[in-house]
Every structure is written in structure tokens, then in C-alpha cells.
Structure 1
Amino acid sequence: MPIPRTLLATPLVVALVGLTSASAPLAATPATDATLPLLVTRGKAPAAALLTREVPRSTTEPDASAPQPEQPRNQKPLWHFAHAGQPTPEDIAAAPAADSATATSPRPDARSGARSGTGDGSARSAADSPETSHTDYTAPDSLTLRTTGIRRTDHFRAGSITKTFIATVVLQLAAEHRLSLSDPVERHLPGLIRGKDHDGRALTLRALLTHTSGLADYTTGTKGLIPLTPTQAVRTALAEPATLPGRWSYSNTNYVVLGMVIRHITGRSYATETERRIITPLRLSGTSFPGARATLPFPHGRSYTTEGQDVTVLNPRVAGAAGELVSTLVDLDRFYAALLAGRLLPAPQLREMLNTRAADGRYGMGLYPQKLPCGTTVWGHNGRIAGSYVRTAATRDGDRVLTFRVNTDAIADPDLEPALLAAEFCPQTA
């Protein structure tokens, strides 16, 4: 859920995940490793972490029209985990002894719980559950996984990244001919959208997906802190001034309504339907819709607003279908890689998702493009909710994915996000 960027005065923690193909092998020193310390020096973060993964591409391409949730067992991902920042005195006192080399140079270490695996989630350790299989190495537990409470397996609130999941389910239903994107909202939710400036008989599902409906954002009034039912959220939005229908204007209300449409079509909640169609097939073991549960699953760190308030405990109903999701770095990487590789949607629906014409190039359906200075365009979404900011970006084919997060509402320096994306996706010169 969008929250205006503000200067950060409170400590934060950052973690990133990258997924690359064999055509772009993992460098000895990834470019993002050079950018990562800026989050400490310029972003005022006491700690930061970087996790990259390389997966060889299969010689036999899967059928793009059908989900292919499991990675072939002959593909062994390589993990690279880097760390920047200084631990607190409390972290040092609580951590096992480690020499200076292990604090700065990742290497195999029994304390990390490293295990060889095949990338299918079958190889785990108790220390790293859920899914953390890898074949390369990981940084030691002493000064990275415990620094300021961060672990690469931490659960966190993914905010508006939820929208990509919701859009995927709606497009799957369209592929099954259970709805049409040209359907008016009135057909599925009679009487819901009625107001001075809106009529559900003229408002289409496509307009909701692309944020061109004109519906106001209900979080303008709630500030993303007041739990509401979907119906209450819609009524709150209808009481706000409308934006111009047909013009792009980001509104969380659009995806709350889409969540209601999913229930009407399937007879199941958006959470249940997303779990059945995406989370379970892809084995996203750290991803869930918590409903009204205000606590995060274990393991997790702390979450802070930019004013320093601890909001680790938060009722997810403040976001609903627009931003309720809880996830992990590995799971988000896996989801976006599968989506863009055509494993979740048939080709026509994936093209619809990536079509940005309705939103003047700004937004597709649950995804948006960003053109980097080098000319490369990446696709993904960000997520902002009280105590958490997340960003995922990927190449169009899903071969390379990067996900990073901070445990507060925003990054202190807004230039750091595009710098991180450029470091990962733009060719590096010597």
C-alpha cells in the first residue's frame, strides 16, 4: 500500500534476492555487492543483506500454457549471501564467536544450517526452515543472520505485491472463461458500486486491474492503519472524490473489489483461491494470507514506521486483497520467475497482464515496467505497508529476478532503489 516516501530516522534492515540464468553466470563479486553498503552509509541502515541465486536453464522448455511448478531435479541453484553493516552490541554479545574473515567473506559454516539441495524445496535444515535449499554457501550465523534480527528466511509483510497474486488469479479465471475482463462489476457484484461519480454497470474488471477505474483509494482516509471489511473499504472510497475514469490513478480499492469478484466467481475467498492456484503448486512454503492474525510467522524480525514506532504486530485487514500477503524473499523470487516464464498463465493472458496501453505505459495488470538507464526494462511490483517496504523486479522472461526489502515504510535515499536495479540488470563495464 503506497505511503509517501519520507526521510528515515529509524534503524532498518535490508535483504535482496536475485535469480539468474546460466547465460549470466554469477560473478565472483556481484555488482549489487558494491551497491549494498550504500544502504548503510546513505540509507542509514545498521545492517543489510544480499542473497543471489543462479539456476541453470533447462534444455527442454516447459509448455508455457500450463503451470510447471516444480524445478527439474537436475537443476541445482547456487546461493550467494552477502552482508554489510555493523551489528549492535547486543547482537555481538549474543552471537557465537567469529573471526573478522567470516564476518565479511561468506564461506561454508555449519552454524548457518547450509544444506545441499535440488531447488525443489526438498532439502532443508531445521535452522533455515522454510525453504532455503542451496548448493553453494551461506554467510555464518554469527554476524549476519542475527544482526539486528535479520535472517534470510524471515517472513515479512509484502504489501501491494499482493496485487500481482490477485491479478494472476483473475487472469486464470479469464483463461477458464469463468469471467471476461470486459465484464462490468455490476454483473458479479450487483449494487456494490453506486455513487455520484460511479456506476458499476459501466465499470469493467479491466479498469480495476489497470487502475483506470476512477475509484478513489480508500487508504487516503484510513492511512493504511484502520482494519476494514471489503464492503467498508468500498464505501469509504465512494465517499472520497473520484479520479477521472479512464485515466491511470493507483488505488487500493480496485484490488479490494477484485478480491470480492474472486469470491463471487469461485465461492471461495481470494486467499483460499490464491493458495490453491499459486501458493501450493509453487510450494511457496513461507507465503500466506494471515486474515485477521496480527502476528508474523516464525522466523521474523521487527518492523518500524519511519517515525520509529514498532508495528511488528499489525492487523492485515488494513490492506485486504490490496496488500495482505506475508511472504519471504525466496518465495517472491520463485513466484515472479514462474509467472514471467509463463508457468502460471497461458500466453494470451500473460500478454494482457503486460499490456500497459490503458495506463499510458505505467502499469499492466498487477505488474509495472521500469526502464533502467542502460535501456533494460524490468517488470515487477513494490509493496508498502506500515513497517515494510518490498520491491521485486525481473527480466521479461523471468530468468533473472531481484527482490529486496527494508523493515520500515521507505528507503531513506530514493536513489538507492534504481541504483540497486541497475547494478543487477545493467551490463557492468570493467
Structure 2
Amino acid sequence: MHVAGATGVVAEVRTPDGRARARAGDGNVVTRRSVPWRAHYRVGGVGRPFASVVALQLVGEGRLRLADPVERVLPGVVTGHGNDGTRITVADLLRHTSGLADYADQLPGARDLTPRAFEARRFTAYEPAELVRLAMARGPRWQPDPTAPVATKRWGYSRTNDLLVDLVIEKVTGRPVAREIHDRVIARLGLRHTFTAGTSAYLPRPAATGYTRFPGTDQLTDTSVFVPLPDTSVISTTGDVAEFFRALFDGRLLGDAERARLRETTAARDGWGGASGVRFGLGVYWRPVAGCDAGVWYHGGSSPGHVAAAGATDDGRRAVATAVTTWRPGSAQQRRQDEATSRLVDHALCDAR
């Protein structure tokens, strides 16, 4: 990963018997200090399974049904321009089979990937409901069939689904989603270095400097300080993330029935990492890997200055998390870095067993 161009990278593997860690590169390209072992980083999309766990726990408690139409839980929210909340279920949101437009594509300056545009927007904060309304101003990519078998459903990642899952959790519990994630996941597992940042633009120490090489530039821009979007606000360490991914599958967070639903997948042809045979369950990807009879479960995510990945074996005995402090959107170098990350995840979970 470092050879592929990452300024700094840290990774950790967790098993019932202990852990293994590795790091490479610099925590800061000026001071040349090493990447801290317990560096805090923005986990991006890797944090979405935290909310999926909360939703599935509510299902297990009988407070929410995966087959519930979104309109029943959030009346009047998914509507307009052909969007129909009566045809989209809670499971569609978690599985990204809703067909809803991605709010991120509608943000002001969404395609203006330049240092100047980043600087102008870095302290802009959005409310989830505001972003959902932005997505509803566009028609859906398709209309889902709520009666179709899971394996046949059409898939497409949309961050609007993530926001709606958060709103569903808040409507059902009457409490902020950040509090539910803390009480039901973070505190239960004793993840001492994990929290939701809200509208804070800063990372706690220790942390490595996050850099972005914007398209058309040869320079690295320090993009460590910015207000995250609501669905990507989890900050953690590789140790905590790896432990969460173990718990996701080993029974510490979900009952047998809920874990079975988590594993019900549909084909995800444009899944993270570019691997073949990728499928998506209720909040997490799956892909076949030689050496792992049950494949691996994983998720990736990127944000200015950070690229994260994590994965686990089907039984939760092994899990791995990686944090890279360089993001180069749309570049061949970024693709090579992502491919190296996928190889690390596969080796840590499969070859090393």
C-alpha cells in the first residue's frame, strides 16, 4: 500500500488469541514522524455497519420490521419526483436496493474536486433531513419491487439510504442515532477510541495528517480538518474497527436470526474494491476469496485525507482494519492502492489462517 503511493498506512488484525499490527510511511510528510500505532482516523463508509447493527437489534426487539415500507416509519419523507416510500422497505435501505438518487451527487460543487473548493466548503455542516430533501428533488434510478426475492434485487450504493436508516432509528427509538450507536455498540464492546464526530472538524490525537491529491494537481493538500457529512462521522482506530468487525459476526452484537438476515445478499456489480463476485447484505459487502470457504465480509470508505477498509471472516474469529492517510480520487494510483488494500484484507483473513 505504501509502495502504491500512500503517505502513511496502519493496519491491525484481531483474533481471539490477540492482535498483529503493521505500519509504513510517514504520519506527516514534513516532520517525517511515523504513523502513530493508535492513530485516529475518519472511517467513512466503514462506519455504516454500526448503524446497520442498531437497526437489526431493533428488529430483534420487535420494534422494527425489515419489510416495513419507509412511508410507514417516515411518513411524507420519501416522496416527489417519482420517489415512492410505499415501495421501498427498511431492508431496501440497508441493502441499497431502493433505487434512490445519491444526495452526494447533488451537493453544491460535488464535482469541483479542487483545493480551493475544499477550502471553501470544509466547515459547511448539513442536517440529514436537509440532504434527504436534496435527494428527493431527483427522480429514482429505478422503482424497487418490495415482493421480489432478495437475490434478484437491483443494487446501487446511495448515501441517501444511509441517511434514511439513521432517521428510521431516531424515529423508532426517539433518541439521536449517535446515542444509539454509542449505547448499543461502542459502549457494549468497550471501544474506547471510537465516537461519532457530529459537526466537529477535528481529529483527536494521536492522528496522522490526511492528504488529498486532487485531480489535475501534483501536490498533496492537507485535508485533515473539515466537517464530515452526517453519514460518515465515525472516528476510530484500526484496533477498535477490527474488534467491531469481529463482534459483527461472532454473536456479541446480533442474535442468530439477525445475523442470518445480515447475510442475505444481492449482487453488487460496482462494489468497493473492484473484485468480482461481490455481493451486498444488510450493511456490509461479501466477496469470494481463495482459501476462505465462506468468503470474506468487508466494507471500505473514503473521505478527504483518509481511505479505510475493514473485513472479517464469516465466523468472526479474524478481522482486519486498515487506515491510509492519502486519497487520490479517480486516479490510477488510487486504484493500485485500493487493490493492495484488498490483497492485505484477503491475506490477513484467509491465507494467514
TM-score by length of 2: 0.81
RMSD across aligned positions (CA)? 2.4
Classify the secondary structure of the residue corresponding to 2:351. Answer: coil
The answer (yes or no) to whether the contact 1:185–1:205 under 8 Å persists in 2 is yes
- Listed as ranges, the matches of 1:300-339 within 5 Å are 300-307=207-214, 308-316=220-228, 318=229, 320=230, 322-339=231-248
The answer (yes or no) to whether the contact 1:40–1:46 under 8 Å persists in 2 is yes
The answer (yes or no) to whether the contact 1:184–1:204 under 8 Å persists in 2 is yes
CA positional deviation for 1:359: 6.0
- Give the counterpart of 2:99 among 210, 214, 217: 214
CA positional deviation for 1:423: 2.5
Classify the secondary structure of the residue corresponding to 2:302. Answer: strand
Return the index of the structure with the highest Cα Rg: 1
| Match status 1:268 vs 2:192 | no
Aligned to 1:128: none
Classify the secondary structure of the residue corresponding to 2:222. Answer: coil
Deviation by residue 1:189-232 (Cα, 9 ceiling, x = unmatched): 11111112212122211111110111111001223965321111
CA positional deviation for 1:243: 1.1
CA–CA distance in structure 1, aligned partners of residues 13 and 208 of structure 2: 20
Aligned to 1:389: 307
Classify the secondary structure of the residue corresponding to 1:292. Answer: coil
CA–CA distance in structure 1, aligned partners of residues 182 and 106 of structure 2: 30
Aligned to 1:44: 5
| Match status 1:415 vs 2:327 | no
Deviation by residue 1:305-361 (Cα, 9 ceiling, x = unmatched): 222222211112x2x1x3211111111011111111011111111110111048686
The verdict on how the C-alpha distance between 1:229 and 1:82 changes in structure 2, with shifts beyond 3 A counting, is closer
Aligned to 1:355: 264
Classify the secondary structure of the residue corresponding to 1:391. Answer: strand
- Give the counterpart of 2:16 among 44, 52, 55: 55
Classify the secondary structure of the residue corresponding to 2:2. Answer: helix
Deviation by residue 1:139-183 (Cα, 9 ceiling, x = unmatched): xxxxxxx32xx2111111111122101111001001111111111
CA–CA distance in structure 1, aligned partners of residues 314 and 306 of structure 2: 26
The verdict on how the C-alpha distance between 1:305 and 1:375 changes in structure 2, with shifts beyond 3 A counting, is same
Aligned to 1:103: none
The answer (yes or no) to whether the contact 2:102–2:159 under 8 Å persists in 1 is yes
The answer (yes or no) to whether the contact 1:44–1:412 under 8 Å persists in 2 is no
Question: Which consecutive unaligned segments of at least 5 residues does structure 2 have?
Answer: 112-120, 145-153, 215-219, 270-277, 329-333
CA positional deviation for 1:90: 5.9
Aligned to 2:132: 234
CA positional deviation for 1:88: 7.8
CA positional deviation for 1:415: 2.6
CA–CA distance in structure 1, aligned partners of residues 182 and 352 of structure 2: 39
Aligned to 1:66: none
Classify the secondary structure of the residue corresponding to 1:415. Answer: helix
Classify the secondary structure of the residue corresponding to 2:196. Answer: coil
CA–CA distance in structure 2, aligned partners of residues 203 and 82 of structure 1: 43
* Paired residues, number: 311
